[in-house]
Structure formats: C-alpha cells, structure tokens
Amino acid sequence: MSFYEKLARAVECNHSLLCVGLDPVAEQLPARYRSGADDLTADLLRWNLAVIEETHGLVCTYKPNIAFYEALGAAGMELLRNTLAAIPAEIPVILDAKRGDIGSTAAAYAKACFEVWSADAVTLSPYLGRDNIDPFAAYPGKGIFVLCHTSNPSAGEFQTLGVDGRPLYVHVAETAPRWSPNVGLVVGATYPDALRAVRAVAPDTCILVPGIGAQGGAVAEVVRAGLRTVGSGLIINAARGVTLAADHGATARQVRDEINNARR
C-alpha cells in the first residue's frame, strides 16, 4: 500500500489531519519516564511508546526526526528501530531527514530511508534540484515532502528571494510536484500567507505543516490557508505540545478536534 493510500485511510479512520512528531530530547524527558537506571535510551523508548500508545487512534501519521536518534549514536539507532516497530502498521511514517544530495549519495540516502528504516515517506531539500529527488521517486508509492517555506525565523534569507518577480518558495511549490506524483511540500505554520500562496500554485499537492503550538503557528489560520477544497491535503504536525503534555492522548485529541472544527 502506498504512503498516500495509508494516509487517506488513517485520515478517514481516525478523523484526523494530525501528525505527531516523535523527537526524543534527553533534557526534556518527563520525570515519569525516568527509571533512575543508567539506560537513557530505555527511558526515551518508554516515552515514545507511551506517546504512540495514547495517540495512535488520533493521528494520520507519525514523524520521527532522525537527528534526535543519530545524536545518541548506535543506541539511538536502536531506539529509532524500536520506535518504528511500535507504530501500528496502518499508520504511515514520515522520516524527517531533510536529505539533500545527488547521484550515488542520494541513492544511498533513499535506500537507508526506505529499505533500512522502511519509512513510508521522507522530507528532502530542493536545493540540488530534481537530481536529489529522483532516487527517492524511484521507490514506487513512497511519499516525498520537499522543503518549500520552512517555519524557522531565518527562512526568508533565501526562500523569499525574488526570482522572475515571485518568491523562490513559490517556484519550488510550482515545480517540485512535477518531478513526481509522490511529491508533497513542507510549509511552516508560522507563515500562513506563504501557505496560502503555495496552495494557490499547488492546488492538489499534499502539504506537511510543522510549527503549530510551541513554534507559534495557529491551527485555524493553517486550515484556512492550506486546506484543499475537498477538505484534506494537509498534514499538521505537533511535537512538543503533545509529547511534553501530562496526558499525551488528551492533548492530541484536543489538537485533532481543533483542526476538525476549523475544517468545518
């Protein structure tokens, strides 16, 4: 089953456009998951498993950021493997890797994401053009989310530069979906005007939206700016707001319902 088929089923089954980021930071590990033993990754796994257990009926996808696992070395890779194994098979996984390279290196990255980690989708950089995307697009059914307008404060240093009278990110939004039918876009929730501009030139493209909650993005604005006319086409990511909450499930339900209220 392709990423987009799994996504559509999860959206329908869980009535959700919510994605939860699984980004375990040791310094943020809640006290209730600290065992007191000298095994940090076991505690981080306990945290991830609790989030998955409490939210899997409320999300359309999960998005682990590989950087937080790589930073822990070999133990972190095992943590990622065990985390992915705990995600129900019917929930697709977006591996947030933001890879960007060409040729055999890009092919190796694609193999790692899709064969080693068995992710359903991945985030990629557009900076090297189509040469970075093609090795990933060679995997049928895998989702590809290309960075378009990101949520960080300095995103505009390059992404909003004018090219032929339009911001660079608009050119990315218009061009990247032509590279493969599996291409989606990443647009930060903190820039609703950019999200609106992207939707105007990419009316049928799925958009992954990080940045609600801790980064300041507003759910209602995101939905108004980015929802497709059929009421879908958005994946709205929440990470710290859910994973650091005292009740992961209740918080995820609240965010999901806020999204659905805005959809209506």
**Residues with catalytic function:** 98
Say which residues have a Cβ less than 8 Å from residue 107's Cβ, sequence separation at least 6.
135
- What is the rounded distance in angstroms from the CA atom of residue 24 to the CA atom of residue 41? 9
145 within 8 A of 171, measured Cβ to Cβ: no
- What is the rounded distance in angstroms from the CA atom of residue 133 to the CA atom of residue 102? 8
- What is the rounded distance in angstroms from the CA atom of residue 60 to the CA atom of residue 154? 29
42 has which bridge partners? none
Say which residues have a Cβ less than 8 Å from residue 44's Cβ, sequence separation at least 6.
24, 26, 29, 33, 72, 79
